[in-house]
């Protein structure tokens, strides 16, 4: 596949040069400005993209679901067809290694095909039918049929840390298109070339499968135009992955509209890891090595990076001084973490802004009284390549409880280990945490059964995914995955997921059809069940027809 319109935005199927400011991409690993020139679209051009999406909505949302499935499959084929050019460009613009980007491409095309399969199976529309009971007394019942229908045009913001899987053809776009919603993607400025290549692939797929013009648009845009996209009255929902400040800014715009709309923003999470003495006694070195590997994976630039670790030490503090010598298992754990972090290497972060924020965040934690640097990489980072230097810090539960700033996310390769001496201290620390994407529990079954605290229940109150052992930096794209959580992990209170088939539910709403002639009903609700899907008919889950 040739990158004919490599630097273009796409307003529907039309490649366009933006009428706004010119900009260039940066290769962070080489600290070089790339020669390709991109232009942001103007407000007028952004409005045209939304208007095309609105015009396409009726035709697209009423397509047979198998045709939408064919479209998603075709996008995956077109992305694969770009070949090495896409891998090389994404590596260049992100500083991420080739293996990581290659895997991310597979994840991107895999989730497109997953949603295609979901559409062909069809039961996700949650069809419910209550047949008429005209002879019921004292009040007859009318015929009622309910299913999920698409919201309308969706604006998606590409993420910086996943230039493919959470970007132009990522999970937000795939799930919105699967739901029947046209999509306008605002490309992330850190990887505009990657975005344009994928945008071209989606447009090619749309043309080859006969999708209505406007089902997809890609725009390079500054912040003012991006906010105007959210404010456009035809837009019905927003998908976003990024910083807390960015997500809240978008939510404010959405809430201030005459018609407020849902914003599904994935934002801040420190993903606490809780380690109880039973697990530490059995596998201190293994857990420590796993923690260090998870903290440094991808230069700590995963939204599931374990940025906070709570370690329940098995020794009681001295009543006079409040301090105590750590147990042998605790010493072994901290020593192994320090050894692994020292041996790790600084690596290029996604862009200069993220690198600067990481350095600032580490410094703000380090200067808090009672916080100590356990270890940092012994290799000096390059001054001109925005390299993040892995670091792990420690403090006590008493000091952690006095300093809420310690619980804030530092996006990058770091973690703060909080040593607790009593279960009460640990429970108090966990109770003060904000909402999280994940929490991880290392414990023996025996100590969980004997504890005065229900640690599983305590953790799950504020997370979307709870792990028993392992580390959270792997997010499986599957039916059972939840990638979301209470605020500030997401803006919707943790009621949805941005990964897995459940992500489609963000872009639909229920509608009930009352007393409709059979031929006027959507296919999913017609008597004959022409889609052959599972439906709830008068309380029975069945695939039979009426």
Structure confidence by residue, pLDDT tens digits, 161-188: 999 999 999 999 999 999 999 999 999 9
Model confidence band, residue 144 (pLDDT cutoffs 50, 70, 90): very high
Does residue 162 lie within any of the structural domains? Answer: yes
- pLDDT tens, residue by residue, 524-545: 999 999 999 999 999 999 999 9
Task: Quote the CA–CA distance of 165 and 478 in Å, as a whole number.
Answer: 14
Asked whether the CA dihedral 25, 28, 30, 31 is positive or negative, the reply is positive
Q: Provide the mean pLDDT of the chain.
A: 94
Does residue 535 lie within any of the structural domains? Answer: no
Residues assigned a catalytic role:
266, 303
pLDDT > 50? residue 1: no
Q: Pairing mode, if any, of strands 154-157 and 183-186?
A: parallel
Q: Judge if 173 and 282 occupy the same domain.
A: no
- pLDDT tens, residue by residue, 346-394: 999 999 999 999 999 999 999 999 999 999 999 988 777 789 999 999 9
For residue 475, whether the previous peptide bond is cis, meaning omega lies within 30 degrees of 0, is no
Cβ contact 79:198 at 8 Å = yes
Cβ contact 278:285 at 8 Å = no
DSSP string, 293-349: HHHHGGGG-STT---EEEEE-SSPPPTTTS--PPPHHHHHHHHHHHHHHHHS--EE-
- Give the C-alpha distances (Å, rounded to integers) separating 68 from 77, 301, 362: 14, 33, 46
Which single residue is written with the structure tokens 């679209």?
A: 41
Q: What is the pLDDT of residue 231?
A: 98
Give the contacts of 69 (CB within 8 A, at least 6 positions apart). 115, 116, 117, 119, 120, 178
Q: What is the 3-state secondary structure (H, E, C) of 421-471?
A: CCHHHHHHHHHCCCCEEEEEEECCHHHHHHCCCCHHHHHHCCEEEEEECCC
Q: Judge if 243 and 313 occupy the same domain.
A: no
Does residue 487 lie within any of the structural domains? Answer: no
Q: Judge if 405 and 445 occupy the same domain.
A: yes
Does residue 231 lie within any of the structural domains? Answer: yes
Q: Judge if 201 and 284 occupy the same domain.
A: no
pLDDT > 90? residue 194: yes
Q: Judge if 112 and 220 occupy the same domain.
A: yes
Q: In 141-215, which ranges are E strands?
A: 144-150, 154-157, 183-186
- pLDDT tens, residue by residue, 391-440: 999 999 999 999 988 999 999 999 999 999 999 999 999 999 999 999 99
Q: Judge if 358 and 233 occupy the same domain.
A: no
Cβ contact 274:287 at 8 Å = no
Q: Which of 61-70, 317-326, 467-476, 489-498 has the lowest mean pLDDT?
A: 317-326
Query: Nearest to residue 513, comparing CAs of 123, 54, 132?
Result: 132
Q: Judge if 244 and 278 occupy the same domain.
A: no
Q: What is the pLDDT of residue 28?
A: 93
Element (H, E) at 108: helix 98-121
pLDDT, mean of residues 151-168: 97
pLDDT > 90? residue 160: yes
CATH number for the domain that contains residue 92: 3.40.605.10
Q: Judge if 36 and 50 occupy the same domain.
A: yes
Q: What is the pLDDT of residue 230?
A: 98
Count CB atoms within 10 A of the CB of residue 197: 22
Instruction: List the structure tokens of 100.
Output: 């990581």
Model confidence band, residue 8 (pLDDT cutoffs 50, 70, 90): confident
Q: Judge if 249 and 283 occupy the same domain.
A: no
Q: Judge if 259 and 282 occupy the same domain.
A: no
Q: Give buried/exposed letters for 390-400 (b at 16+ CB in 10 A, else e).
A: bbbbbbbbbeb
Give the contacts of 207 (CB within 8 A, at least 6 positions apart). 13
Helix axes 223-231, 43-61, angle to 10 degrees: 40
pLDDT, mean of residues 275-287: 92
Model confidence band, residue 322 (pLDDT cutoffs 50, 70, 90): low
Task: Quote the CA–CA distance of 425 and 419 in Å, as a whole number.
Answer: 9
- pLDDT tens, residue by residue, 22-65: 999 999 999 899 988 999 999 999 999 999 999 999 999 999 99
Model confidence band, residue 3 (pLDDT cutoffs 50, 70, 90): very low
Q: Judge if 212 and 156 occupy the same domain.
A: yes
Q: Domain count of the chain? A: 2
Q: In 222-292, which ranges are E strands?
A: 237-241, 263-266, 273-275
Q: For residue 219, what are the domain limits? A: 11-121+147-267+497-506
Task: Quote the CA–CA distance of 241 and 171 in Å, as a whole number.
Answer: 10
Query: Nearest to residue 465, comparing CAs of 440, 488, 490?
Result: 440
pLDDT, mean of residues 1-15: 75
pLDDT > 60? residue 321: no
Q: What is the CA radius of gyration of the chain?
A: 25
- Give Cα 498 to chain centroid, integer Å: 5
Q: Judge if 172 and 221 occupy the same domain.
A: yes
Task: Quote the CA–CA distance of 496 and 486 in Å, as a whole number.
Answer: 10
Does residue 2 lie within any of the structural domains? Answer: no
Does residue 174 lie within any of the structural domains? Answer: yes
CATH number for the domain that contains residue 313: 3.40.309.10
Does residue 131 lie within any of the structural domains? Answer: no
Query: Nearest to residue 386, comparing CAs of 412, 405, 417?
Result: 412
Could you tell me what percent of the chain has a pLDDT over 90?
92
Q: Pairing mode, if any, of strands 263-266 and 237-241?
A: parallel
pLDDT, mean of residues 263-270: 95
Does residue 522 lie within any of the structural domains? Answer: no
pLDDT > 50? residue 4: no
């Amino acid at each position: 596949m040739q990158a004919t319109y490599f630097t273009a935005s796409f307003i529907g199927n039309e490649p366009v040069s933006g009428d706004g400011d010119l900009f260039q991409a940066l290769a962070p690993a080489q600290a070089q400005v790339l020669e390709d020139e991109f232009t942001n679209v103007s407000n007028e051009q952004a409005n045209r993209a939304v208007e095309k999406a609105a015009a396409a909505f009726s035709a697209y949302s009423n397509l047979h679901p198998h045709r939408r499935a064919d479209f998603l499959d075709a996008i995956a084929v077109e992305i694969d067809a770009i070949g090495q050019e896409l891998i090389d460009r994404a590596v260049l613009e992100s500083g991420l290694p080739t293996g990581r980007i290659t895997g991310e491409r597979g994840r991107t095309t895999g989730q497109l095909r997953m949603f295609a399969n979901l559409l062909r199976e069809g039961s996700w529309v949650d069809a419910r039918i209550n047949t008429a009971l005209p002879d019921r007394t004292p009040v007859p019942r009318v015929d009622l049929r309910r299913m999920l229908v698409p919201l309308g045009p969706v604006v998606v913001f590409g993420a910086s840390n996943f230039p493919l899987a959470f970007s132009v053809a990522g999970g937000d776009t795939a799930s919105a298109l699967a739901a029947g919603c046209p999509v306008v993607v605002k490309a992330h400025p850190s990887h505009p070339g990657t975005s344009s290549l994928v945008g071209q692939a989606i447009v090619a797929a749309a043309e080859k499968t006969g999708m209505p013009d406007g089902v997809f648009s890609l725009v390079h845009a500054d912040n003012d135009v991006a906010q105007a996209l959210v404010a456009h009255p035809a837009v019905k929902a927003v998908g976003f992955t990024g910083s807390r400040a960015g997500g809240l800014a978008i939510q404010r715009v959405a809430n201030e509209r005459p018609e407020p709309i849902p914003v599904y923003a994935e934002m801040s999470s420190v993903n606490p890891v809780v380690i109880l003495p039973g697990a530490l006694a059995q596998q201190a070195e293994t857990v420590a090595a796993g923690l260090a590997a998870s903290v440094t994976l991808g230069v700590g630039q995963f939204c599931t990076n374990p940025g906070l670790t709570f370690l329940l030490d098995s020794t009681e503090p001295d009543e006079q001084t409040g301090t105590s010598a750590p147990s042998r298992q605790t010493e072994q754990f901290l020593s192994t973490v320090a050894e692994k972090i020292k041996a790790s290497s600084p690596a290029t972060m996604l862009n200069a802004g993220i690198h600067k924020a990481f350095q600032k965040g580490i410094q703000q934690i380090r200067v808090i009284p009672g916080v100590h640097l356990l270890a940092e990489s012994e290799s000096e980072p390059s001054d001109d390549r925005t390299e993040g230097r892995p670091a792990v810090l420690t403090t006590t539960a008493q000091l952690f409880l006095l300093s809420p700033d310690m619980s804030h996310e530092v996006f990058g390769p770091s973690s703060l280990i909080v040593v607790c001496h009593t279960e009460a201290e640990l429970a108090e620390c966990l109770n003060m945490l904000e909402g999280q994407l994940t929490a991880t529990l290392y414990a023996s079954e025996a100590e969980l059964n004997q504890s005065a605290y229900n640690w599983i229940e305590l953790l799950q109150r504020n997370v979307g995914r709870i792990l028993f052992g392992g580390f959270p930096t792997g997010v499986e794209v599957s039916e059972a995955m939840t990638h979301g959580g209470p605020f500030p992990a997401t803006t919707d209170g943790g009621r949805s997921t941005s990964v897995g088939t459940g992500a489609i539910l963000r872009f639909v709403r229920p509608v009930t059809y009352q007393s409709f002639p059979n031929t006027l009903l959507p296919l999913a609700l017609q008597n004959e069940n022409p889609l052959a899907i599972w439906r709830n008919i008068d309380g029975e889950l069945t695939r039979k027809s009426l």
